[in-house]
Amino acid sequence: MSSIQNKLLIGGSLSMAIAVSLGAFGAHALKGKIADIDLNIFQTANQYQIMHSFGLLILGALTKRVSSKALRLSGYFMGVGIFLFSGSLYALALSNFILHERLSFLGMITPLGGISFILAWLTIPTYLWRGKSDENKSHKNDKE
């Protein structure tokens, strides 16, 4: 197993374990203790963490088929996205409960995580398209 594959699979697995734990915490410990809007924010953070943790696992499984540079870059963006997007939403949802003050400025960080998610998902097709294009160029040169 390659180093990048290990990192992606370990990162995805640990993030998934954290996401499942936080999901259970939100469903059982927070219900009725935080405002409905904060519970919805918490659940959104959790859904995106689960989806993108699964994405890291998919990237780890793809390392034998796709450029490891593309997977490494996509995994980096996905990890940053989980931290910024889900992390800022978890903190926003819990800030009033823990600090008795809503830290609304955290909402400004969330879109940066969303951009990271988008970049993560666009990295793979970009590299595949570029690789296919390079392959076509080499075939053209072989025919000439």
pLDDT tens for 4-32 read 999 999 999 999 999 999 999 999 999 99
pLDDT of residue 138: 45
60-82 pLDDT tens trace: 999 877 778 889 999 999 999 99
Distance CA 39, CA 36 (A): 5
Q: pLDDT at residue 140 above 60?
A: no
pLDDT of residue 128: 80
Pick 116 or 129 by higher pLDDT.
116
Q: Which two tokens stand for residue 5?
A: 């594959």
Specify the residue for token string 């809007």.
Answer: 37
HEC states along 10-30?
HHHHHHHHHHHHHHHHHHHHH
For the chain, the average pLDDT equals: 90
For the whole model, what pTM was predicted? 0.87
